[in-house]
Amino acid sequence: MQRKNPIVDEYWKSILDYVTTSMIHKDNALPLARIKRLMKVEQEVSKVANEVPPLFSRITEIFIEELTLRAWQCTEKGKRRILQRGDICSAAKSSDVFDFLIYLMPKGAGIVELNMNSQTKY
């Protein structure tokens, strides 16, 4: 159910420009020690190089930003100003990239898909 989305396309162009013109910064929004600890939960991972947690931090930020952007589009389609759980569920359903999240969503999470012609609740 992959649809052309110019806003998301523009977002990815800006991310590509950012990544190609800058280094991974040390000012991360996510705690690096926690990222490193989560990576070491996997038994095969015993050591993690210092440059890996900042990279994972930035990747996680980009993931959250795109999902939020898609969820906000669902909010606007619903003519609302408050992002809701159902918007996140709809955003996860809007792209094959987020398919794995659908299985993590609670049952009855209020997934709403808004088409131009009709409203369908799942």
Reported as a pLDDT band with limits 50, 70 and 90, residue 26 is low
Residue 43 is assigned to a structural domain of this protein: yes
Q: Are 52 and 39 in contact (CB under 8 A)?
A: yes
Write down how long the chain is. 122
**Domain containing residue 18:** 6-121
Q: In angstroms, rounded to a whole number, what is the distance separating the alpha carbons of residues 64 and 118?
A: 28
Count up the domains in the chain and report the number.
Answer: 1
Reported as a pLDDT band with limits 50, 70 and 90, residue 118 is very low
Secondary structure E strands in 1-122: 112-114, 119-121
Mean pLDDT, residues 47-73: 91
Q: Each residue of 95-113: pLDDT tens digit?
A: 898 989 988 887 765 554 4
CATH, residue 82: 1.10.20.10
Using a cut of 0.85, tell me whether the model's pTM lies above it. Answer: no
User: How many CB atoms within 10 Å of residue 99?
Assistant: 11
Q: In angstroms, rounded to a whole number, what is the distance separating the alpha carbons of residues 83 and 54?
A: 28
Residue 1 is assigned to a structural domain of this protein: no
Strand partners, 119: 114
Residue 26 is assigned to a structural domain of this protein: yes
